[in-house]
Chains A and B, each alone.
Chain A
Amino acid sequence: MQYHDHDGSHYLTYPDAARLATGDGPAALTRALAERTPGAPLALHVRLPFCRQACRFCASQRVPSRDSRQAEPYLTRLDREMVLVSRLLGRLPAVQRLHWGGGAPAFLSLDQMGDLFDRLDARFGLSGARGRDFSIEIDPREADVFTLRHLQALGFNRLSLGVQELDLRVQKAINRIQPRVLTESLVDEAERLGFHSLNLDLIVGLPLQTPRGFGETLDQVIAMTPARITLRRYAHLPERNRPQREILAEDLPDATTRLAILEAARERLDDAGYVHIGLGQFARPDDSLTLALREGRLARDLQGYTHYPPGDQLGLGVAAISRVGDTLTRNALSLADYEAALDASRLPAGAGHRLDAAERLHRDAIEALACRRELDLAELSQAHGLEASAVLADALDRLAPFCRAGMLQRHGERLRLTPDGVWGLTHLLAAFDPARSPVS
């Protein structure tokens, strides 16, 4: 079976919020926040787009910067956004879930991180409880053991480190030289400091990548025994992502090589005892994700799989996404637009969308497949008061080839992923998206 390459969207939101382009964002967010149940939990996602160096595979909205002082005007705008949003919120319980991501949050100076943390606390009230989930994405080139000790002292308790690839040839081709020892020292320190569910990010499909080279990378990563490993797939879209134009198309592994890399990776991770949660997320058998998968309480939020109930998520910062009730909003994609909105005391949401009944059903169908590995049309029909097989007719048509390929089994109203289907889930999810036609 051949697939068209796509950007690897995992439909963490449906419709894909990253591609939202229309709608009155501020109005949509204002209304959605007003309709929230008072006292309902709210997760915060802060987007910090700064990077010191441009990695050529990057598909994020990022701001190349040399000096952490350059982040100062952005942090001022972030605070203004917090003030505007917090005025729209009713009573809020202490925030239990906080995530810093985007570019490389550790680009900020230690004092800037402290200030930002304090401002978030002042505007929203952050929890200090043991069960809180405060996570941060770390570029190992921007952090050392002192950074981790500082982050732990702030209150962070979960980390994801961007490794991408340890093969030096590939590192040169993507302009990201990152010796293994950088990652290792952070992994060790994270463990000492009691960070839990440490995740290491890897990317498949990078220029000059080979099955052998990536196999060695994976061996070294597995030897660091992280609780979680994420395999992301590189999508080469140079017309959309400027940094990718530096990558030579002829250096990219072809479809066969990519497949070989992935198959070898799957086998290695399996042998090492990692459980494939789905969509390239692997976890050790004792990790909270694996337990949640087994117990049928796996969920997804805007960062991916989680064992927490997903709930409402508020995104802060340029290009940040919010999911509140049935409303999705996306902040301005360009720094200039983001800053201009806040300077005029407007919410910086550049696009907004409230899901209609059919879209809600699509969303729940995607989550059912992604998190519980099965889709029960009767259950969906009942939950939504709609005939699921009619609403999903197109999607079910597009899923039919996957049934024939043995990735999906249909028993009456129930569709269930096979292990191959779990592996190829990305492609199955695209079947729910009218904007995609995944199968050739």
Chain B
Amino acid sequence: MPDSLTGRRRSVLHETRCQTCSLSSLCLPLALEVEDMDQFDAIIRRRSPLKKGETLFRQDSPFTSVYAVRSGSLKQVTTEGSGDDQLTNFYLPSELVGLDGIDEEQYPGTVVALETTTVCEIPFDRLDQLSESLPELRGQLYRSMSKELRDDRRMMRLLSRKTADQRLASFFTSLSDRFRRRGYSPYSFRLSMSRADIGNYLGLAVETVSRILGRFQSQGLVEVSGREVHILDLESLIQVAEEEGAK
């Protein structure tokens, strides 16, 4: 077993090149010409896959790189002064991890793999240099940051004004949208996060998450078995997510 695992890892490492990567149309090199992509590819450090539960980096460790998720998923956990862990983000393939560390030169949260996950490490000083000569790359970097800002604002609105039903509906519709943009089915996907993680992220007790999942199922909005999610009525789910205030 160890042999074959090492072998598989090695082959993953070898195969990984931006030009052949299926996510290149979503990832940082999105706007790059083929020849520029090689330059970008050259600065990337391929890493061996993270196992489920393995840490990519810890909170407060020095910021060196951003990471593009190739496969799998991760969560960001921020430990508050009181010692409470708050789940502050989920990362899916093609999304960039670590952009929030640029400013203070340290990572504001610990990032942990939710399943077997591969990432491409992009040393930030190299990325910074390269983006000076490749405006398309710089543009894409700005867009990624802007998107993260926008998502954070949306999350703030969600956490400050929405009811539990609206929060969970919004969580599903946003996941569905993220999968759709990556060319996956927006209706059927696998949740790599536990219900406790989802509750923590949405500011809900796990009992509340379970109850609303049950309700969504009985209303025919979603079907959940284990971690497999089938969205049966996306339109109604969007409606619930966008409702204002309580009923």
List A residues at the B interface (Cβ < 8 Å): 109-111, 114, 128, 130, 145-147, 149-150, 152-154, 157, 192-195
Contact = CB atoms under 8 A, between A and B. Distances in A.
B161 interface: yes
B246 A145 contact: no
Given A149-B203, A153-B164, A153-B165, A194 B208 contact: no
Contacts of A152: 163-164, 246
Given A110-B205, A192-B161, 13 more contacts: A111-B207, A145-B203, A146-B205, A146-B208, A149-B208, A150-B204, A152-B163, A153-B164, A153-B208, A154-B211, A157-B246, A194-B245, A194-B246
Contact of A130 (B208, B211, B247): B247
7 nearest A-B residue pairs (beta carbon): A194-B246, A110-B207, A153-B164, A194-B245, A146-B205, A150-B208, A149-B164
Contacts of A130: 247
B208 A110 contact: yes
Given A150-B164, A152-B246, A114 B211 contact: yes
Contacts of B203: 145-146, 149
Interface string B198-212: 000001110110011
Contacts of B163: 149, 152-153, 193-194
Contacts of A195: 246
Nearest to B244: A194
B208 to A, nearest CB: 4
B146 to A, nearest CB: 27
Interface string B214-247: 0000000000000000000000000000000111
Contacts of B205: 110, 146-147, 149-150
Contacts of A149: 163-164, 203-205, 208
A152 B245 CA distance: 11
B160 interface: yes
A192 B211 CA distance: 21
Interface centre among B203, B204, B246 (most CB of A within 10 A): B246
Contacts of A150: 164, 204-205, 207-208, 211
6 contacts: A110-B205, A128-B247, A146-B208, A149-B208, A154-B211, A157-B247
A192 B159 CA distance: 10
Interface centre among A111, A128, A153 (most CB of B within 10 A): A153
A146 B159 CA distance: 12
Contacts of B204: 146, 149-150
Interface of B: 160-161, 163-165, 203-205, 207-208, 211-212, 245-247
A110 B206 CA distance: 9
A149 B158 CA distance: 13
Interface centre among A145, A149, A157 (most CB of B within 10 A): A149
Given A110-B205, A114-B207, A153 B212 contact: yes
A131 B160 CA distance: 24
Nearest to B245: A194
A287 to B, nearest CB: 17
A149 B165 CA distance: 9
Contact of B160 (A146, A147, A192): A192
Contacts of B165: 153
A126 to B, nearest CB: 13
A34 B247 CA distance: 34
Contacts of B164: 149-150, 152-153
Interface centre among B160, B204, B207, B212 (most CB of A within 10 A): B207
A181 to B, nearest CB: 13
Contacts of A114: 207, 211
A192 B207 CA distance: 20
Nearest to B160: A192
Contact of B211 (A128, A153, A157): A153
Contacts of A110: 205, 207-208
Nearest to B204: A149
B220 to A, nearest CB: 16
Nearest to A157: B246
Contacts of B160: 192
Nearest to A195: B246
A388 B200 CA distance: 63
Given A149-B164, A150-B164, A193 B208 contact: no
A379 B92 CA distance: 73
A111 B211 CA distance: 9
B121 to A, nearest CB: 37
Nearest to B167: A149
A128 B247 CA distance: 8
A315 B203 CA distance: 34
Interface centre among A128, A130, A146 (most CB of B within 10 A): A146
A97 B219 CA distance: 23
Contacts of A145: 203
Contacts of A128: 247
Nearest to A130: B247
Contacts of A194: 163, 245-246
Contacts of B207: 109-111, 114, 150
A97 to B, nearest CB: 16
Contacts of B246: 152, 157, 193-195
A344 B27 CA distance: 69
A427 B6 CA distance: 86
Nearest to B161: A192
A206 B245 CA distance: 38
A130 B205 CA distance: 24
A152 B160 CA distance: 14
A147 B164 CA distance: 11
Nearest to A129: B247
A152 B163 CA distance: 7
Nearest to B165: A153
A133 B244 CA distance: 19
A146 B199 CA distance: 10
A94 to B, nearest CB: 14
A240 B165 CA distance: 45
A123 B165 CA distance: 24
Contacts of B161: 192
Contacts of B212: 153
Contacts of A111: 207
B145 to A, nearest CB: 29
